[in-house]
Amino acid sequence: MQLIADSGSTKTNWAVIVKGSEKEILNTEGYNPYFFTTQQIVDSLKANLLPQLQALKLTANNITEINFYGAGCSNASKKKIISDALIQVFPTVKIFVGHDLLGAARALLQHNKGFAAILGTGTNTGIYNGNDDLFNIDSLGHFFGDEGSGCYTGKKLLRDRMRGYLPKDLDKKFSAFSPLGKEEILDRTYNSPLPNRFVAGFFRFIGENKEHEYCKNLVRESFDEFFKKLVTHYENYKQYEFNCIGSVAFIFKDILKETCSSYGMKPGLIIQEPIDGMVKYHISQMDNTLNQ
């Protein structure tokens, strides 16, 4: 029995492949190894994932394989934080830990070569070889990059709010959305353990007011920066379709498609969650193994 995990900085979707193509979807918080220790992940998995498995009448011993794709799993040391945690909770399981961009590419493109991107709490992009490799321009995370992401756009919103630049009608709505003042926002941003998650949380306000011209322009600016700083730096990028996963991309897919076309790139598949595509990929892998 397999577990397949799509872990962002905010949440993790877990697919339990029960029988053939049947699956159950479970949810926990996100486990970005830049912000979590192995022990913190172990504690969270025991408190949140195992009870959900037990509700399905499953235990850790029923799981034989875990394929975990996560934000922040970009090098061996960060992957080890995740794999060490999974081994402690599932000691007899075969474990694979890969970057969330590889998971997104497999979900979007399966075994085909192409361009894949993530626009969620954070940002990522890459050219996928159709198997297990990606050429990637580093997004550099929320401090130095992540253009186009929920955190990037949320930061622009908060900056305008604290400087008093929001349109009056939107500023009034923001006050009802969040009681936090300037000092509290700054304190939470600089002193909270997960600042990217905190800032990206304000993207929900932008989504709730997606028809407001200010919000549309804010998103357009962020997507334009995303293309300028990342997408257009891939050689021959215009020859690829633009395929993307993530809540930011999905909520504003019309603006994303407009931006994509303005840079001479054909819009491709834009979906909110990759987990179904990941399951499809791994079931095909299982079938290929059985047929060999």
What's the pLDDT band for 90 if we cut at 50, 70, 90?
Answer: very high
Neighbours of 71 (CB within 10 A): 29
Q: Which of 227, 292, 230 is nearest to 265 (CA)?
A: 227
What's the pLDDT band for 273 if we cut at 50, 70, 90?
Answer: confident
Report how far apart, in Å, the C-alpha atoms of 231 and of each of 6, 143, 215 are: 23, 19, 22
Note the CATH number of domain 2-105+274-291: 3.30.420.40
What's the pLDDT band for 60 if we cut at 50, 70, 90?
Answer: confident
What's the pLDDT band for 172 if we cut at 50, 70, 90?
Answer: very high
List pLDDT tens digits, range 133-158.
Answer: 789 898 887 788 889 999 999 999 99
pLDDT for 13 beyond 50: yes
Span of 147-161, 181-195, 221-235 with lowest mean pLDDT: 181-195
Quote the pLDDT of residue 292: 47
pTM of the predicted protein model: 0.84
**Residue found by looking up tokens 């020859």 in the block:** 239
Torsion sign, CA atoms 10, 11, 12, 13: negative
Neighbours of 180 (CB within 10 A): 17
